[in-house]
Amino acid sequence: MWNYMLFSALVLLLSILYHCYFNKPVSMIDRPYADYDYIIVGAGTSGCVLASRLSEASNVTVLLVEAGGYFGWVSSVPLLSPMIQGTEFDWSYFTEPQKFSSRGFSNHMQKMPRGKGLGGSGQMNHLVHSFGRPEDYDGWPEGWSHVDLLPYFEKVSDIMNVMSSPEEEFLADAFLMSEEVLDMGHATLQKGLYTSKKGSRWSTLHAYLQTAWNRRNLHILTNTLVSKILFKDGTIVDGVKVIQKDGSVRRIGARKEVILCAGVINTPQLLMLSGIGPAEDLDKFQIPIVKDLPAVGKNFFDHIMLPIYVNLEAKVSITLFKLQTLPEVVNYFVFGRGWYATNGVMGVGRTNNSGVMLFGMGSTEERILKTISNYMTEPYRSLYPSYNDSAQEGFLYLSYCLQPKSRGSITLKSRNIRHQPRIDPAYLQNYDDVLCTHNAINFAIRTLESKKFREFGAKVHHPDLDECKHLPQDYRDLEYAECVMRVGGLTSYHACGSCRMGDVENAVVDEQLRVRGVSGLRIMDASVLPAPISGNPNSVLVAMAERTSDLIAGRS
């Protein structure tokens, strides 16, 4: 009881301090100028980088427009990132009902959280760092090869403070020792890497925007929704139309460029509502066509992960009970250490195109996780057997295909910018993704045969799902594994690709990320990725934004 009271008191105190002592930066404005050189739409991972880099030149003016405001202090605690989902800081999107997956979710729909506020999804993700594999960039346009991006990767690794957990992680050690039992070709295992500083989240909001937001040539307009891109003389960008918090609508001109950093969902939606997209789709909503660009909204992809629960006998995992103890709470809020200072991802591994992440938390809070994921009760409890035991020791292997072949789409539902578009990731539509994920499952299970995991009493839990009862309850059986995948596979929040770059007809932007067929419009966010990254894409996007700023400034 006293632990809960202390924790509540700390929450209240931090909230008061945050609101009382947070000084408003010079760049934060309520009334924008009539015109700027550059208008950046979206203060997410990429938008923060571009706003910072472009405003380094004192002879240009930059406006950063963000639909949300400031994230609360909870977002700064790495382990609490799921708590942001479903709040005012989340766009709270839903997918369309899925035909080939998500059968354990209400209406076969998955939630697709996206950050809404300064820092964007970088303020609510799990902070996992990865640049993928060199071969991921094969086939990307000129200037975007792995060799081309290497200098930016090195720069980002330093600026974003990439690190592994300083905590003693017995599960990570056991995971790395599993190499002794693996004979699956090119298997690699490593500790989880993430971006953090002094126990707190370290996103591009902190690393880039906060270093620049007292520059007088940079203006930041929050709680403002960009509803349309404006054009003159047919296809030349003239500026944007915005709706501010008080409901007022205004036009803001762009002398040089409008740069879309609104994200994989909002960017194609804004393009289509502005008249850029597939003509036949725009005609359905009587949207005047500026440029018939069929590729807008296509090539949408995401990693879908199967959570495999592993029971443990040894007390070596993170549990809700441990997190609620007084020493753990004090350790974080006083010293900035402990489990709260980590993201819980202790190890990552891959073999060929199959990957796993070891998430070291053994117990879950049913009310929270079931709500934010949209799981139905029976599938949730089958997949997560610790749902009613806050002291249960165990962990999750998140198994997935690094290079999924399934492709979905983003399309309009209405002409209203406030209505979410139709989001269809088409999870597991391509059967190769099932086989690839099954290989990841076998990879994960094989690691548990190592000496250290056996000492911990590691044992795979096989969910007793109604849909899969007629099959052998063994993940090594392909039919059973496929059944569980199609019931319980969960988004990894790695959605990308809806405005792909390339030098072919089915691309939206060219090799300099300029939108094809119009002048003065560029995109830099997850939508431009032509193919998946073999890992978490956030750090790759930071590096790409760095290179984009060089392209715009003529440095590359």
b/e code 102-119 from CB counts within 10 Å (16+ = b):
bbbbbebebbbbbbbbbb
Q: Is 126 a catalytic residue?
A: no
Neighbours of 238 (CB within 10 A): 17
Decide: 201 and 79 in contact? Cβ < 8 Å: no
Helix (H, G, I), strand (E, B) or coil at 255: strand
- 236 and 514 in contact (C-beta within 8 Å)? no
Q: Which residues contact 202 (CB under 8 A, 6 or more apart)?
A: 127, 160, 161, 195, 196
The strand pair at 218-221 and 200-201 is best described as: unpaired
For residue 111, list its beta bridge partners. Answer: 94
Rounded to whole angstroms, the Cα distance separating 541 from 532 reads 12
Instruction: Name the token pair of 236.
Output: 């030349």
User: Whose CA is closest to 50, among 262, 268, 261, 264?
Assistant: 261
Distance CA 14, CA 384 (A): 33
State residue 341 phi and psi, 5-degree precision.
-80, -5
DSSP, res 518: S
**C-alpha of 542 from chain center:** 12
DSSP at 537: -
Distance CA 265, CA 329 (A): 37
Which residue is catalytic, options 303, 438, 462, 494?
A: 494
Angle at CA 412, nearest 5°, toward 409 and 414?
Answer: 165
Element (H, E) at 17: helix 2-21
- DSSP one-letter string for 303-351: -EEEEEEEE-SSS-SB-HHHHTSHHHHHHHHHHS-SGGGS-SEEEEEEE
CA distances from 240 to 41, 417, 450, 506 (A): 9, 13, 58, 26
Please list the active-site residues: 494
